[in-house]
Amino acid sequence: MDFKKFLILFVLMVVIVGLSGCLEPPKVEVIENKVQSADMNNTKFTIKVLVDNPYPIGVTINKISLDIYALVDGDKIHLGHGEQDNIKISSGNSTFELPIIISNEKIVEAVLKSKSSKLPVEINGTISINLMITTVNIPIDIKREIDVSGVISQSIKNEIASNLNNIQQMKQTD
């Protein structure tokens, strides 16, 4: 049996056993988040994602798509969305960075409602992996707390700068 046939047979067995529940799916964990940039309306975060792939072969994530919500007083406030295509994951642990665009207005709303810059958030989405003969969708459901004080202060600075600009322009036209 040549290597290509063996690999296809092996992947087929992994998928069948995986779909039967005998193998556990890859584990996905957010290990870090950073503010990359901010403007008047949005803040771009980059989150670092750790994937623990228990399979002996690497895979390519066709697409990862997620939404992030602030959990405040029983409400879910949609903060933003992120997605990325074509991510290579090796066997074992791999990391990649995923950009997420967050609404500054929604962050301010959540902070005012919770009265704290440390927000409990929920991240929901899917990871779609193509395993040659089938596509496997792995759900993402992560809860953690994030500190948005840097975003809030940058948003306030941008608002003040914009207001000063408007005042200066009004003075110049008078």
Q: What is the pTM of this model?
A: 0.64
pLDDT digits (tens, 9 = 90+) for 8-48: 555 555 555 454 444 566 777 777 777 777 777 888 878 88
Q: Look at domain 26-164 and name its CATH class.
A: mainly beta
- Is 64 within 8 Å of 123 (Cβ atoms)? no
d(CA 86, CA 64): 9
Do the bridges between strand 75-89 and strand 135-147 make them parallel or antiparallel, or are there none, so unpaired? unpaired
pLDDT digits (tens, 9 = 90+) for 79-89: 889 899 998 88
CA atoms within 13 A on the CB side of 117: 10
d(CA 86, CA 129): 9
- Split at pLDDT 50, 70, 90, the class of 1 is very low
- Dihedral class, residue 37 (left if φ above 0, else alpha if ψ from -120 to 50, else beta): beta
Sign of the Cα pseudo-torsion (81, 46, 91, 63, in order): positive
Integer CA distances (angstroms), 25 to 53, 67, 127, in order:
8, 21, 11
pLDDT digits (tens, 9 = 90+) for 94-129: 888 888 888 888 888 888 888 877 888 888 888 888
Three-state DSSP state, 68: strand
- Dihedral class, residue 74 (left if φ above 0, else alpha if ψ from -120 to 50, else beta): left
- Is 91 within 8 Å of 56 (Cβ atoms)? yes
